[in-house]
Each structure stands twice: as C-alpha cells, then as structure tokens.
Amino acid sequence: MKTVNVVAAIICDDYKNKKKIFATQRGYGEFKDGWEFPGGKIEEGESPQQALVREIKEELGAVIEVHDLIDVIDHDYDTFHLHMHCFWATVAEGELELLEHEAAKWLEYGELRSVDWLPADLALIPKIKERMSDK
C-alpha cells in the first residue's frame, strides 16, 4: 500500500488559551464534503513545518506560525496509508480565505464533534481536546 506523507495545521485563535480551532470542508476529490484540518502533502526536500506554511498559503492565503507538534497520525484508507504530522498553528499574516475548500468554521471546545470529520482527522480530536480550554 502506498504511503502518503502529509501535514495538518490545527489553527487556533490563541496559542496559549486555544478557545477555538479552524476546520475546513473539502471542496474536491475523493473525500469531498468531509471536514479536515487544512494542510497537504510534504514535497521532497521540505520539512513538515515548511510544507505546512506553504500549503496554508496556497489553500487559505495566509501566513501561519507553526507551533508544537500535537501528534503523528497513521491511518489506512482503502487505497493508501496516510502518515500525517499535526501541528498547532496561528495566523501570523493575512486573513484565512477559502481558495480550495467549500466551507470553514471556527469550532469551540464543545463543538469539536459537530462536523463530519474525515477518519484520520477524527483520530486527532481527543488530543486536541486535551489541550483546549473548555471555559
């Protein structure tokens, strides 16, 4: 089975307090309409952090600051194995705009399960909840 190496940004409103995170809905491809954390494939010669900055600029038009690694998720889909590095991030420059996704939401702690996450992204939710403020 082919392995696809990707990165995902868990963009939060405030790195210290983490009251809200940014979720996007895919607008194309095999997983169209599924909710995910934005990101994409790591290109040859890139670090995961460099790939994440590039992908968010391409997909959402903003520059992010990449913070701590939350987890590395491994998930087997029907036709490939996904290896996903997931990092906390904040917007450093610009505004988040949908250039490739069909929808987006800022989700608070209690809303994290209110969208239909793709399976690999769903596996990350418990780790995110551990570090978010529910106040």
The three-class DSSP label of residue 90 is strand
pLDDT in tens, 6-61: 999 999 999 988 999 999 999 888 889 999 999 999 999 999 999 999 999 999 99
Supply the DSSP symbol for 110: G
**Fold topology of 2-130:** Nucleoside Triphosphate Pyrophosphohydrolase (3.90.79)
Tokens 């069909």: give the residue.
Answer: 102
| Domain parsing of the chain, residue ranges | 2-130
Separation CA 58–CA 81 (nearest Å): 24
Read off the pTM.
0.94
